[in-house]
Amino acid sequence: MKKYLLPSLMAVSVAAVCHVQAAAWDEPLRPSQSDFGGVGLLQTPTARMAQEGEFSLNYRDNDQYRFYSVSMAVFPWLEASVRYSDVRTRRYSSSASFSGDQTYKDKAFDFKLRLWQEDYWLPEVAAGTRDLAGTGLFDSEYLVASKAWGPLDFTLGIGWGYIGNGGNIKNPFCRYDDKFCRRRNVSGSTTAVNGDELFKGPASIFGGMEYQTPWQPLRLKLEYEGNDYRDDYAGQLAQRSRINVGAIYRLSDWADINVGYQRGDTLTFGVTLHTNFNQLHTPHFDQAKPEWRPQPQAAILQHTVVASQLMALKYNAGFDAPNLQIKQRTLYVTGEQVKYRDTQEGVDRANLILINHLPADIDTLRVTQTRYNLPQVTTETQVSSLYQQLDGYPLGHEQPLQQRRIDPVETGKTEQGYYIEKDRFSYGLAPVLNQSFGGPESFYMYQAGIGGHADYWLSRQLLVGGGFFADVTNNYDRFKYDGRPADSALPRVRTHIRDYVKNDFYLNNLQMNGFRYLGNGIYAQLYGGYLETMYGGAGAEVLYRPLDSRWAVGLDANYVKQRDWDNMMRFTRYRASTGHLTAYWQPGFMDDVLVKMSVGQYLAQDKGGTLDISKRFASGVSVGAYVTLTNVSREEYGEGDFTKGFYISVPMELFTATHNRGKARIGWEPLTRDGGQMLMRKHRLYDMTSDRDINFR
């Protein structure tokens, strides 16, 4: 039945297309995803890249495998994918008491790099790898080219490893060295980078085409694959044909469904959900920007007018606890921007609020932004220039606004001053969902509960705060072991995680922080208490961050003790000194990219460095990845070889009807080990001083 079902469906679809007029779509359809995740045909990749910021969630299903993948177009020339593969024909382990009847799960990381962009004569060219840092079940490398001709997009490539198992050509690298003629089977070994086997073993030519039908939601795919499925991890798979066919239908601008007929006997089905982080936008309810209606007040400020200005600064311009002062011929405003991610919007609104009721002798406006009572930046505007801009210039005589950002200005003793006092106490409650994937007892483990936090300012520089978690429901009763690594000689600084999360109620943190701006772009903090779920202690941090500079440097030092998972108000005997020197750099040749390099000592007393690279998109969403290498050997570290992970930071205003500057961060490490683990500090000075970057959103 399967053998004839999909060709029949495709024939019906094509026949229907002949009787349907082409729909009018505003935008061309995005490149489609392959079965493995990442832009491609079915089993094989193409050289096409999705638009920068494209984020796809993919699910594919057939008799032997289920593929769950996330694909991200980080740059126009770089695609990264993370994939979990469910091998339906194998058990997770041979011990039913350990993993029950759960099927085997494999995780993998794929990358594709565009080498050449398509032009009139030449095709698009890309190189890529599958399962580079996974267990090696599908490890492959490829070089592929794609060329469009009308509604047809042709692809031709050469693959090694899983993609090239058929060996329909001789590996071209064998001409240079015989070692490229053989490929070691590393399937299922570790989550390490399998760099030693790149471009080795059999090679195959693969190719195909994708056809955009006259009915725009429907596309058809045809491919010739280079894999012969010999020694496949799912078992002996018959391959009656190397020709695969498929169809993809666009349900909406955020969802595709697809079907395929592969190997001459296998039906596949899949769904893709996608969005673009550069195009995400949520309409917000907001007060209109103040209109230009000048009504100057006297040199001695009028109480009722100033009160109205302070309220407008807080609720219209977004400045919490605004402070309005006059000194000589300058009017100063200080406050914390809590509303707009684009802080220039708040400054523009503040200037309008001030200039509408400005004493005649004022010639300069200075608006200073703070965070955590730390001054960040002062925006200085010349009143005469602002008047001219608001009144309008004669045609052809326009001038730029005389405005500049300078290091924060302390007003000192002033002649007049009014303010709205800052709330010393704040608190909040929110639902919390802790999740993990790929465990031996169950693929999906969860814990749902309530999280709360409270903060109290003892003074302008001294903050006391804490947070708690209360469990409501979880499936942690499935835990069969305590997470102890059998292949690591390191102290267990992180692998007690299961012992901690089994508590029904615990304090995440309870600490005191002292913050200080030392001037000239230097910030400092001292802190002590329960610093995170697993550790308590004391530490200090100092940061040098020049205003609107592409670089900064920070140093932190900490002495901590491990919290007792049986009684989290107490400590175990383990203690450690840990700290790092961190350099921050925003490359001028890559927009909205932040590179962080930290070197120092980690919680297990190992020494090394962490490289963290993140990309921020127009919506404010940031995506990043990090790797940590230390002086711990592979044998001491255990499975995985080194610490690595991914994270995504999402502005909360994408989910709310009003503007706000809150963010939620989701992180994922494919395997939690004890080497290369940092202290998870609640407050980090670089994040707290983001307003010193003119491009931050």
How far lies 56's CA from each of 72, 80, 274, 691, in Å?
6, 11, 4, 31
pLDDT of 442: 74
Q: Give tens-digit pLDDT for 126-169.
A: 999 998 866 778 999 999 999 999 999 999 999 999 999 999 99
User: Taking residues 383-389, what's their average pLDDT?
Assistant: 94
pLDDT of 458 strictly over 50? yes
* Mean predicted confidence (pLDDT) in 303-307: 93
pLDDT of residue 7: 47
Give the pLDDT confidence score for residue 65 in this predicted structure: 93
Q: How confident is the model over 571-608, as pLDDT tens digits? A: 999 999 999 999 999 999 998 999 999 999 999 999 99
Question: What is the spatial distance between Cα 373 and Cα 459, in angstroms, rounded to a whole number?
Answer: 10
- For residues 356 and 636, the model is more confident at 356
- The tokens for 685 are 């000075």
Eight-class DSSP state of 311: H
User: What's the chain's average pLDDT?
Assistant: 89
Whether the pLDDT of residue 638 is over 90: the answer is no
Shortest CA distance to 352 belongs to which of 325, 382, 311, 386? 386
Give the span between the Cα atoms of 293 and 296, in whole angstroms: 10
pLDDT band of 2, cuts 50, 70, 90:
very low
Look at 52-56, 661-665, 677-681 and tell me which has the smallest mean pLDDT: 661-665
Contacts of 269 (CB under 8 A, 6+ apart): 60, 61, 62, 257, 258, 259, 260
The mean per-residue pLDDT over the stretch 248-273 comes to 95
What is the predicted pLDDT for the residue at 16? 44
pLDDT at 5 over 80: no
Locate all alpha helices (DSSP H) within 151-254, ordered by sequence: none
- What ranges make up the beta strands (E) of 253-372? 255-262, 266-276, 319-327, 330-337, 364-371
Which structure tokens are listed for 261?
Answer: 């007929």
Tally of CB atoms within 10 A around 56: 25
- Per-residue pLDDT tens for 462-517? 999 999 999 998 887 766 655 666 666 789 998 888 888 888 999 999 999 999 99
Place of tokens 């045609």: 395
Residue 639: pLDDT above 70? no
Q: What pLDDT score was predicted for residue 19?
A: 40
Give mean pLDDT, residues 362-372. 96
pLDDT tens-digit map of 214-257: 999 999 999 999 999 988 888 888 899 999 999 999 999 899 99
Percent of the chain scoring above 70 in pLDDT:
91
For residue 249, the model assigns a pLDDT of: 96
**Integer Cα distance of 45 and 56 in angstroms:** 15
How far apart are the C-alpha atoms of 663 and 53, rounded to whole Å?
A: 18
pLDDT of res. 483: 60
- Domain 2-19+33-276 CATH assignment equals 2.40.160.40: yes
Cβ atoms of 354 and 331 within 8 Å: the answer is yes
Q: At 13, is the pLDDT very low, low, confident or very high (cuts 50, 70, 90)? A: very low
Residue 529 backbone zone (phi > 0: left; psi -120 to 50: alpha; other: beta): left
Q: Is the pLDDT of residue 17 over 60?
A: no
Residue 543 has pLDDT above 80, yes or no: yes
Entry field: residues in the chain: 697
- Between 276 and 25, residue with greater pLDDT: 276
Lowest mean pLDDT segment, chosen from 61-75, 95-109, 156-170, 347-361 = 95-109
Mean of pLDDT values over 651-671: 88
Domain 425-692 in CATH 2.40.160: yes
Residue 204 has a pLDDT of 95
Q: What is the pLDDT of residues 178-219, one digit of tens each?
A: 888 888 775 554 545 556 778 888 999 999 999 999 999 999
| 473 touches 510 (CB < 8 A) | no
Q: pLDDT tens digits, residue range 76-95? A: 999 999 999 999 888 877 77
Rounded distance between C-alpha atoms, residue 129 and residue 110, angstroms: 6
pLDDT at 25 over 50: no
Which amino acid is located at 209 in the chain?
A: M
Nearest alpha carbon to residue 227 among 144, 155, 163: 163
DSSP 652: G
pLDDT band at 643 (very low <50, low <70, confident <90, very high): confident
Number of CB atoms found within 10 A of residue 686's CB: 19
Closest CA to 533 of 482, 559, 485, 497: 497
Q: Which of 474, 466, 531, 535 is nearest to 502 (CA)?
A: 474
The answer on pLDDT for 47 being more than 70 is yes
Write the secondary structure of 11-40 as one string of H (helix), E (strand) and C (coil).
HHHHHHHCCCCCCCCCCCCCCCECCCCCEE
Separation of alpha carbons 266 and 19, rounded Å? 30
Residue 1 has pLDDT above 50, yes or no: no
pLDDT in tens, 280-289: 989 999 999 9
Of the pLDDT bands very low, low, confident and very high (cuts 50, 70, 90), residue 22 is very low
Judge whether 238 and 205 are in contact, CB under 8 Å.
no
**pLDDT tens sequence across 398-450:** 889 999 999 998 887 777 889 999 999 999 998 888 877 766 767 777 889 99
Does the fold of domain 425-692 match that of domain 2-19+33-276?
Answer: yes
DSSP class of 653: G
Instruction: Enumerate the domain spans of the chain.
Output: 2-19+33-276, 303-419, 425-692
Give the strand pairing for 103-116 and 124-130.
antiparallel
10 or 638, higher pLDDT: 638
